Amino acid sequence: MRIAVRLLLCSAWLFVLAGGWDVAARAETSSKPQGQPQGQPPGQKAVRLAAKPEEPLPLKGAARPAQTRTTGKPPPAASTSTSHTATPPSGALPLPIPPRPPQTPTPPSASSPPQAAEKSPAPEKPEGQAAKLPRFASLRADDVNMRVGPGSRYRIEWVYKRRDLPVEITREYDNWRYVRDADGIQGWMQQATLMGRRTFIVQAADATLREEPKDAARAVAVLKNGVIGRIRSCEASSDWCQVQAGSYRGYLRREQFWGTLPHEAVNP
């Protein structure tokens, strides 16, 4: 009997202890702040990390294409027109822009004659004329090659850098000419690099250009050694030739320049 009473008392005591622990656990749980996650130390605020929304992927063909110009007109952003159009208010209709009157070309005045085209230099030997050797010609350009033989495969011996320089042609082979300059240097030049314009080069120390073909005539200019000019005319029986150097015209003695044969008549 005593044993049964003791067992009942022990059971009642254990029940009371179990109920007290449950009440303490509930009290502790209710004393924690709301929103405190498990494992978070007391007194420390919780940080909420919001997930970054995913950016939508661009659709194919949604990108704006670059501007292309299919006509000769400039794009609107680069318009250089001097006319300005006012922006109408909201809901108002834009005013029409009057068209520009067509521009008619102005005919040239009858009093102003058309400018004549510059005459090209005459060829070194006109077609249909018999070859006359020796004869004089002049350089067509400021860059003319003199070769050791009549062909492009031959070595270049000299390069002349002076247009209108007179040369004497002594031989021919196909479209190549064997020439000699005022200093006696000889070689082959292409016919296309020569022209038939008659020129001269002063060889005297000072050559006096005179107004008339006589020594007592008024001096027009004094030409230094190496000056190049054009021969206007020469009479076969005369020792004088009418020439032009720059803007000066006059007469020179044949012995003062190089560019004609002895007693040659020149009438270009």
List pLDDT tens digits, range 229-247: 999 999 999 999 999 999 9
The answer to whether position 31 is within a domain reads: no
Question: Which of the residue ranges 8-17, 23-32, 208-217 would you say has the lowest mean pLDDT?
Answer: 23-32
Q: Which residues pair with 228 in a beta bridge?
A: 201
Write out pLDDT tens, residues 132-182: 899 999 999 999 999 999 999 999 999 999 999 999 999 999 999 999 999
List, in order, residues 6 or more apart from 213 with CB less than 8 Å away.
238, 240, 242, 251
Task: Give the Cα separation of 22 and 48 in Å (integer).
Answer: 32
Domain of residue 237, CATH code: 2.30.30.40
Domain with 160 in it: 135-195
The answer to whether position 77 is within a domain reads: no
The answer to whether position 223 is within a domain reads: yes
pTM: 0.56
End-to-end CA distance of the chain: 168
- Residue percentage of the chain with pLDDT more than 70: 55
Q: Are residues 175 and 227 in the same domain?
A: no
The number of distinct structural domains making up the chain is: 2
DSSP letters along 35-55, please?
Answer: TPPTTPPTT------PPPPPP
